[in-house]
Amino acid sequence: MIKNKHFSTLALSAVMSIAIFATPAMADKKSNKSLKKAAKTCKSVHPKDVSGCALTFSRSHGNCLACHQIKGGALSGNIAPPLIAMKARFPNKAVLRAQIWDATVKKPGSVMVPFGRHKVLTEKQIDKVTSFIHSL
Ligand code: HEC
């Protein structure tokens, strides 16, 4: 009995360490897959900026298509304005970046994900997404 109990404790701790160590790795794998899939689309629709486009389109990264229409992006949502003619509407790139970093600064209560404040994207990824969006 004691031996059995010992074994199950051991088994449990093994399972727990798998859960602790495997989960982030599995999430990484899934997000890499999503980025790769987006990059494949981007190669044909936005060949000039594949990495910025992929971060924007990837469901595990920007996922901007959930709410915005963007040229070349499939299955987009429409609860937010389409991202077109950005240079004309956002001549200052810093203003555009600020919108992506935290939309609630300009509009408290915005449903847009505060990508910088919530660290959904890294600062470098936000720079890339901003450049891509600015080119639309
Ligand atoms: C959950 C929905 C949602 C997601 C996801 C989302 N947005 Fe938004 N976004 C909005 C809404 C709604 C607005 C309209 C203004 C507001 O309510 O803040 C907006 C506004 C904007 C604007 C200003 C547009 C304009 O015409 O003034 C930009 C630029 C923008 N989003 C970029 C992005 C980018 C880039 C991403 C992905 C990294 C993204 N959004 C993801 C909902 C979203």
Specify if 117 maps to a domain.
yes
Structural domain contains residue 116: yes
- Protein residue closest via CA to atom 11 of ligand 1: 80
Identify which of 98, 100, 105 has the alpha carbon closest to the alpha carbon of residue 83: 100
Instruction: Name the pTM for this structure.
Output: 0.85
Residues of the domain holding 121: 36-134
- Evaluate if residue 9 carries a pLDDT over 70: no
- The answer as to whether 17 is a domain residue is no
Query: Closest residue (by CA) to atom 26 of ligand 1?
Result: 81
| Separation between Cα atoms, residue 88 and residue 46, nearest integer Å | 19
**Of 16, 41, 19, 38, the residue nearest 125 (C-alpha):** 38
Predicted local distance difference test score (pLDDT) of residue 18: 52
- Give domain status of residue 51, yes or no: yes
In a domain, 91, yes or no: yes
Ligand 1 site-directed mutation target among 112, 128, 134, 135, most atoms within 8 Å of CB? 112
At a CB cut-off of 8 Å and minimum separation 6, what does 99 contact? 90, 106, 112
CATH number of the CATH domain containing 119: 1.10.760.10
pLDDT (0 to 100) of residue 25: 73
Q: Tell whether 31 is covered by a domain.
A: no
Counted domains in the chain? 1
20 part of a folded domain: no
Q: Is residue 71 part of a domain?
A: yes
